[in-house]
Amino acid sequence: MAVEEFDRLFEARDSTSVLEQALTHQQEEAERTRGRRDRRGGGRQQAETRQRERVDYTSPEHAGEPHRGTISEAERIYVQEHLDEVNARLREKGMREIDPSDLTMIERYGLQPPEV
């Protein structure tokens, strides 16, 4: 587009002042956005930190621990095969144990209900 055509788009105002105003607006918006991200503590660095701190509940060190996520098949199998070890570790850590007679635990970990 030719400069003359571009200038005609801004009949009532000078195109240079419009562009300067747009640049100022962009800079202000970027500053506002940057300020929000800093206050929340967001950003890529914190996201990377969160990923590194993620707990592997399928590992022998954490299987059976209370968590908000869904129970994976690997965690379920480990708990089924090592229930006594898992409960001993949970007891040592002061966490709730997995009760093989509790319907919620039976469903969550796929345990066999006790025979009556």
Q: What is the mean pLDDT of the chain?
A: 83
DSSP state of 94: T
Q: Are 82 and 74 in contact (CB under 8 A)?
A: no
Structure tokens at 16: 């240079």
pLDDT in tens, 27-76: 888 888 776 655 555 556 655 555 657 889 999 999 999 998 899 999 99
Separation of alpha carbons 19 and 3, rounded Å: 13
> Computed from CA positions of residues 82, 98, 112, 57, in that sequence, does the dihedral angle turn out positive or negative?
negative
